[in-house]
Structure formats: structure tokens, C-alpha cells
Amino acid sequence: TYRVIGFGHANHGFFNQFAFTSTIGYACGIYNAHLHDPEMDGAVIIRVRHEEWEVIQEFNSEHYPISIVYGPLGNFKVEKSPILDD
């Protein structure tokens, strides 16, 4: 399966918008819609196979650091990463 997460900022802070699909074609369509949505800063496509997962496409127009977080129930979310000092 594929998970598509669009992310950005709204009046009340950072947000994620989630979609699930069984085909890469639908995942790419949702991903492209996020890229053209002015309210989104970016999007990711995650391929999930049983216990393994992989980010196969990622776009971040604002270029701030992000992390993909895998939750205890098999769900994903995008979070802003802290900026680390050298």
C-alpha cells in the first residue's frame, strides 16, 4: 500500500493531510495534487510492505527539516525536525 501525506502551516500551526491507496498511480495523483495546492508546503509518498516502509518521493517547498514518524498503530505523520547546531 501507499501512504501520501501533504503537510504545511495553517493559522493554528503545522498540519498533515493523509491519504491511503493500493496503487502507485493513485498515490502519484494525490501527491501531485498536494504539490499544486498553495496551502501545502510539501508532500511525501511512503510505500508500505508488511513490516517494512520506505519514503519513495518527497518534496518540501519551504526547505525546512522534516521527519517521517512511524506510530505504534502503523500510522505515519510528518513533523518539523529541530534544527541542530554544528
Q: How far is residue 31's CA from residue 78's CA, in Å, rounded to a whole number?
A: 14
pLDDT by residue (tens digit) across 30-73?
999 999 999 999 999 999 998 899 999 999 877 788 899 998 88
Helix (H, G, I), strand (E, B) or coil at 33: helix
Distance CA 13, CA 48 (A): 28
Closest Cα to residue 57, out of 29, 17, 16, 15? 29
pLDDT digits (tens, 9 = 90+) for 70-85: 988 878 999 988 777 6
